[in-house]
Amino acid sequence: MKSCPQEINVERIFDGAADSAALRSHLDACPSCRAYLAGLERMRAGFAVRKAAPEIADAQLPAFLRQLQDRVEAAPAARPVRLWAMFSAATAALVVTVSVLSIVSTGPKPIEATVIEERSTEIQGATTAVTVADDGTTTVWVHVPEGDMW
């Protein structure tokens, strides 16, 4: 459908920024503008539904995760699929993230690195340090005083 030069006025009506008998009568007469307004209203309705979905605040997260774990543990093993169907994709992603984190935190202990060499550089106040970790990884650290770089 060819767009109408009046669409900008349709947006103003939609935003509540403008309204007049002339705009309304154009809207009545112009299928392009009516379709455009209907599309905007569908989009607004879609956002309203999204906003209505409950959000989990950071402070609520531990309790939420505890509940989630309780539900998973309390669920009969025979119907795990039904249980999982209750959670949204976002929740599933969260659970995956949490389980990855717990694997990492119970994994091998962090590699200890030892500073074997430390030098100063021509950048005022900056130093470099070379560390070699237990697994043989060599890392060169450049420490620059904050805000003094540029």
Binding site for Zn ion (CB under 5 A): 4, 6, 30, 32-33
Give whole-number Cα distances, 113 to 33, 78, 109, 129, in Å: 66, 47, 12, 11
Cβ proximity to Zn ion: between 30 and 98 the closer is 30
Give whole-number Cα distances, 55 to 88, 96, 108, in Å: 12, 18, 34
Token pair for 90: 């976002």
- CB of 139 closer than 8 Å to CB of 130: yes
- CB of 103 closer than 8 Å to CB of 124: no
Cβ proximity to Zn ion: between 22 and 57 the closer is 22
CB of 31 to Zn ion, least distance (A): 8
CB of 99 to Zn ion, least distance (A): 54
Token pair for 95: 């659970």
Cβ proximity to Zn ion: between 29 and 149 the closer is 29
CB of 35 to Zn ion, least distance (A): 9
CB of 50 to Zn ion, least distance (A): 29
Tell the residue number behind the tokens 């976002």, with chain if given. 90
β-sheet bridge partners, residue 69: none
Cβ proximity to Zn ion: between 26 and 143 the closer is 26
